[in-house]
Amino acid sequence: MKQNIYDNDTFFSKYQEIRARENNYNNLLEQPNFFRLLPTLKNKIVLDIGCGIGDFAAYCISQDAKSVTGIDISSNMIANAKKLHIHEDLYFEQVAFEDMKVSNGTIDFISSSLAFHYIADFQLLIKEISTALCEGGILVFSLEHPIETANMGKENWITNEEGNLLHFAVDNYQNEGLRTLNWLVDNVIMYHRTMSTIINTLIENGLQIEKIIEPIPTKEALCDLPSLSKEFRRPSFLIIRAKKI
């Protein structure tokens, strides 16, 4: 199933409000750790899957990438990306990765920030990514952590009568597949996979895992956003770097 939730006007408006806040989970936790895993971008051909409004694709151009293509299923995202970032070697296309035609072995670096948990067929996704990457090409992606997605849509944080956090409930972990939740709007669809499925799918498609990060906040980030302290009790994100062999 391909869900284009970012073209829901109510969702997109609320999402923009969150991202406009300087101190949010993306800026303070996911992105700093994502950037830690980036390869050298100079003279590289880059594909950014789920590019959003194009900020990362534009960053790759600033690092002297040879060409960068950002793709996203959302017309809202692509329209904003084209408006905000203009460069002769930077291209944006409204298309789902499943529908994009990429020549075999032509991409040096594929990136994706918090998009893969929206894609139903993870096996096919990784197979096509591996085919698109050149030998030695790099994939870096982040997604909702399996601990987070397992019980999605149900109560996760268990509190006492005073409202203090007792523990994070993990349930239905081995039951992979579709999850629906209320995040900004009702019936947002994500897909849960176990850690072993994620890792083994990469391995089975010729991708050698080089680094895995389950981000924890810095002291500075905690000062800016105290709610990040929850990350010491359960991770929100999983970030992986792998190489085509």
Predicted local confidence at residue 107, as pLDDT: 98
Predicted local confidence at residue 147, as pLDDT: 95
State the pLDDT confidence band at 188, using cuts at 50, 70 and 90. Answer: confident
Nearest CA to 4 among 81, 68, 98, 83?
A: 98
Residue 18 has pLDDT above 80, yes or no: no
Question: Domain segments of the chain: what residues?
Answer: 5-144+194-244
Between 122 and 10, residue with greater pLDDT: 122
Predicted local confidence at residue 3, as pLDDT: 66
State the pLDDT confidence band at 80, using cuts at 50, 70 and 90. Answer: very high
In tens, the pLDDT along 129-162 reads 999 999 999 999 999 999 999 987 667 889 899 9
Predicted local confidence at residue 1, as pLDDT: 46
Percentage with pLDDT > 90 across the chain: 75
Q: 3-state class of 92 per DSSP?
A: strand
In tens, the pLDDT along 209-231 reads 999 999 999 999 999 999 999 99
Stated as kind and residue range, the H or E segment containing 177 is: strand 177-183
Residue 101 has pLDDT above 70, yes or no: yes
CA gap 155, 111 in Å, rounded: 32
State the pLDDT confidence band at 5, using cuts at 50, 70 and 90. Answer: confident
Angle at the Cα of 47 from the Cα atoms of 44 and 53, rounded to 5 degrees: 120
Of the ranges 55-69, 95-109, 168-182, the best mean pLDDT one = 55-69
Mean pLDDT of the chain: 92
Structure tokens at 40: 């050298």
Between 9 and 157, residue with greater pLDDT: 157
Predicted local confidence at residue 8, as pLDDT: 77
Residue 98, phi then psi, degrees to nearest 5: -60, -25
Nearest CA to 141 among 218, 50, 67, 78?
A: 50
Listed range (4-8, 131-135, 241-245) with the worst mean pLDDT? 4-8
Q: Are 70 and 61 in contact, with CB atoms under 8 Å apart?
A: no
Listed range (19-23, 28-32, 60-64, 198-202) with the worst mean pLDDT? 19-23
Q: Are 151 and 172 in contact, with CB atoms under 8 Å apart?
A: yes
Domain 5-144+194-244 listed as CATH 3.10.180.10: no
pTM of structure: 0.93
CA gap 127, 130 in Å, rounded: 5
Residue 168 has pLDDT above 60, yes or no: yes
What does the CA dihedral 222, 153, 53, 239 come to, rounded to 10 degrees? 60
Q: Which amino acid would we find at residue 81?
A: A
Between 19 and 95, residue with greater pLDDT: 95
Percentage with pLDDT > 70 across the chain: 97
Number of alpha helices (DSSP H) and beta strands (DSSP E) in the chain: 9, 11
Mean pLDDT across 98-105: 90
